Amino acid sequence: QKEVEQDPGPLSVPEGAIVSLNCTYSNSAFQYFMWYRQYSRKGPELLMYTYSSGNKEDGRFTAQVDKSSKYISLFIRDSQPSDSATYLCAMIRSGNTGKLIFGQGTTLQVKP
Amino acid sequence: IAGITQAPTSQILAAGRRMTLRCTQDMRHNAMYWYRQDLGLGLRLIHYSNTAGTTGKGEVPDGYSVSRANTDDFPLTLASAVPSQTSVYFCASSPGVGTGELFFGEGSRLTVL
């Protein structure tokens, strides 16, 4: 079983829809949770960063962490065609030597 | 523009050949990483370096070697390439160790025939 599981999709939604992207994990030691966005043929870029449980909002994006359920989510409101990309969840243990664990990535397409 | 520069962007290589992927950063970050990205498997860590002069093994280190002679450069070498090393390789750097805030290059697409 992989430490981090993410539905690869693809996920296709109409413009303006609310998108929910999710990851589950098995290691309760994970403390930092990230979402990276990767456009086609580009490197990933950090989108959201949260520590421990709770919500964090940044514009149209909300990251949610539920450590009791070992479940994290990324919500995109009013989705735009420019949001079409692959979204990778990632997590790391506190004090770890930088060994970030990534999910497989979910490919999102927002249709105009 | 500050960031990570990778070279080459794309390469076709015969099996058994030696290949070095170059990575340079100008952000003065201490930590650097090499990942490979394969369909259905996501990003997997090959090797990392927390600071110049030190390196460590990641999840899939076999067949690869790295060096970190200075802060800016972190080359990845395939001593004798095999077809299973066909992948997209990403170099990344981080201002701190263990925070998860990584800055990635644009990737090097390698095909081993």
CA distance B15 to B100: 34
Q: A30: distance to nearest CA of chain B, Å?
A: 11
* CB-nearest partner of A102 from B43, B94, B97: B43
Q: How far is B36 from chain A (nearest CA, A)?
A: 11
- Give the phi and the psi of residue A8 in degrees, each rounded to 5: -75, -15
pLDDT in tens, A66-93: 999 999 999 999 999 999 999 999 998 8
Q: Are B73 and B23 in contact (CB under 8 A)?
A: yes
What's the CA angle centered on B16, arms B62 and B72, to 5 degrees? 55
Residue of B nearest to A94 (CA): B98
B30: nearest CA partner in chain A = A98
Which chain A residues are within 8 Å of B33, Cβ to Cβ?
A: 98
Percentage of residues of chain A with pLDDT beyond 90: 74
Higher pLDDT, B2 or A41: A41
Does B58 have pLDDT greater than 80? yes
